[in-house]
Amino acid sequence: MRTSSAFVSQAPAGKNPGWGIVLSLVLAQIAWSGTSQSAPSQTVILRPAPAPPLRIEFSYNFQKALPPFPKEPVLPGKEIARGLIPTFPPTPLLRVITDNKLRLNTDHTGDFVAGKTATYRSFYNGHVVFTNLTVTTIRDGLEIPYTLDIFTYEHGCAGWLDVRSGWKGQFTVADQPWRVVLVDNLNGQVGPDDTLFLRRLTGAKTNAVIALTPVPKTIFLDGHAFNIGFAFKPGETGAVVEAVFSETNIPFGTLNVAARGCSYVHLSNSLVTAVLDAGASTSSIPAGTYRITGCVLDNTPGLLYQPSFIRCDRTVVVKPGETASLAIGLPLRNTVQVTRERNLLRLNYQLLGQAGEQYEYYNWRDRPRFAVWNGPVRIGAGALPFG
């Protein structure tokens, strides 16, 4: 959520009608896939592959600034910043800001004189960016490689990492093939900070990507529930991930879903993540109390970027043998809450769906706008930030 200061009028958003008071998008209805019998257990080998980025924040500025590493080159007159990439063990980095360079100690020792190092040069794109860095984690003697980019500021050592490598494979649910991509947060263990991407490989939804964070221990997909286990193992040419999908039987309830303009909806609790085809009006899903953790909207022609789900505070209770209801997705609406602090008016902007779920939509060409009025006279106007 972002804030700005002014008073809001319901002014049009410009050329893009999505930034008025109502975001108008195309609505779609998609058929529910059938559920035939699938194998009770599948073992899938996930092999190294490019992946959607996984963002990891970092900051080594001010009170978090690191002391010199055990061995550093003598760099008189150079501005230097230090940090650690969160591999296992951590990978020390030495940023020579004056020279637009970044040095990595790839043997994890902190020795930048006689140790194994790699040097990268930055470019500027709103941030200082270093691309295609190669780092490793070592677990039980197994070396696990990663590729990442670093985005930082002009001075110091703070910003974020984008992990761009993962492990890819394919498994089958109800005779339907699914692509699965696992992105690990550099520590060589599958845990709550990692992401699992799913994509159906046949039918009308092959472009819809489902991102699940944290990686679920049990997943409900196409009418089947699977316990999932992951383990890094040595492969013929390097580290791979062994994924075991074991079908399980658990109590079910019924959920009526009115999901307009969506491809998939996913709900999660501490035990299971349920991925629902949004085209099905009624679904049998494992019983439980769920948080709404994702809604994948259909692609809408003409938008610079597609709105993406951020969060939702609503819960859905599905009881065994009973029916619950959920309305989610389009139409999206622009909302602004205005509060006053003495002579300051504070605007809180959110883009919300039917269930109160929040989306982000980045369009630098045509931001949501506001105007300030004193009676019939407009005395100011501007654009709202995103969030």
Tell me the pLDDT tens digit for each residue of 231-289. Answer: 999 999 999 999 999 999 889 999 999 999 999 999 999 999 999 999 888 888 999 99
The answer, as to whether pTM is greater than 0.85, is no
Closest CA to 29 of 203, 275, 260: 260
Closest CA to 178 of 162, 197, 193: 197
pLDDT over 80 at 303, yes or no? no
For residues 182-210, average pLDDT: 94
Closest CA to 384 of 372, 360, 367: 367
pLDDT over 60 at 17, yes or no? no
Question: Maximum CA pair distance of the chain?
Answer: 74
The residue behind tokens 């994890």 is 108
For residues 110-121, average pLDDT: 97
Q: Is the dihedral of CA 41, 45, 51, 54 positive or negative?
A: positive
Tell me the pLDDT tens digit for each residue of 338-350. Answer: 888 887 878 788 8
Tell me how far CA of residue 67 lies from CA of 92, 97, 318, in angstroms: 12, 16, 53
The tokens describing 209, both together, are: 């990507």
Tell me the pLDDT tens digit for each residue of 66-103. Answer: 999 999 999 999 999 999 999 999 999 999 999 999 99
Residue 238 phi/psi, 5-degree rounding, is 150, -170
For residues 199-213, average pLDDT: 91
Higher pLDDT, 384 or 196: 196
Whole-angstrom distance, CA of residue 197 vs CA of residue 214: 11
pLDDT over 90 at 32, yes or no? no
Q: In degrees, to the nearest 5, what angle opens at C-alpha 221 toward C-alphas 217 and 224?
A: 90
Per the CB < 8 A criterion, the answer to whether 194 and 54 are in contact is yes
Q: Which residues 6+ apart lie within 8 Å of 1 measured at CB?
A: 348, 349, 350, 387
**pLDDT of 364:** 64
Q: How confident is residue 386, by pLDDT bands cut at 50, 70 and 90? A: low
Per the CB < 8 A criterion, the answer to whether 345 and 339 are in contact is yes
Burial status of residue 47 (CB atoms within 10 A of its CB: 0-12, 13-18, 19 or more): middle
Tell me how far CA of residue 92 lies from CA of 67, 68, 105, 288, 342, in angstroms: 12, 11, 5, 44, 48
Whole-angstrom distance, CA of residue 195 vs CA of residue 275: 15
